[in-house]
Amino acid sequence: MDYYGKKIGSLIEELSALPGIGIKTAQRLAFYIVNMPKERAEALAFAITDAKNNVHYCKECFTLTDRELCPICSSEKRNHRQIMVVENVRDLAAYEKTGEYNGVYHVLHGAISPMLGIGPEDIKLKELMKRLQSDTDEVIIATNSGLEGETTAMYISRLIKPTGIKVTRIASGIPVGGDLENTDEVTLKRALDARTEI
């Protein structure tokens, strides 16, 4: 890439190190950035260092935030007796977008995976157990429905049960709008097992 000179070359290099950004996309972005108005390029660079320097885990739920307690944990409108356990911040964002959940969260930052060598001590599980108070009504396990998510759900459930706190798991089944024909067998079986009377 020495036909551009070093500065574009190193911008392309930095960009292509980001996940999901290949060399072609990095090139396209780099050319776009050098053609941006100066203020916009500076705003982008500032947002990067500003977020990096000031964003950390919420000390309660471990989501990413720039305060000590995230807006959800510090909100009096949320039900702090109901804790939804998710694998990562994107899953939290997905549930927040529904606008249907009014409890708080706990972000594990991963899932138990013997295959990848990720054990219970590698995710924020100790921290979850520490949060559980005598006034916690329910822990909703919303890990993904794949093998690792299920393993994690089972593990957490066994850990919490002895405390007497109610533990639930979000339902798996046919996605709304999905057709049976294109649904995999495991999902079909689960949907059958989880059938409810109507």
Residue 187 tokens read as 């999902």
We find the least distance from the C-beta atom of residue 79 to a second copy, in angstroms, to be 15
Closest residue by Cα to residue 165 from 122, 91, 106, 98: 106
CB 140, min distance to a second copy, A: 17
Dihedral sign from CA coordinates of 67, 139, 99, 52: positive
Q: Is 144 in the site for a second copy (CB under 8 A)?
A: no
Of 22, 79, 81, 93, which one interacts with a second copy (CB under 8 A)?
A: 93
Q: List binders of a second copy among 22-51 (CB under 8 A).
A: 25, 27-34, 36, 38, 40-51
CA atoms within 13 A on the CB side of 84: 24
Q: Site for a second copy (CB under 8 A): which residue of 62, 63, 140, 142? A: 63
User: Does 55 contact a second copy by CB under 8 A?
Assistant: yes
Under the rule (CB under 8 A), what is the footprint of a second copy? 1-8, 10-11, 13-15, 17-21, 25, 27-34, 36, 38, 40-55, 63-67, 70-72, 88-90, 92-93, 96
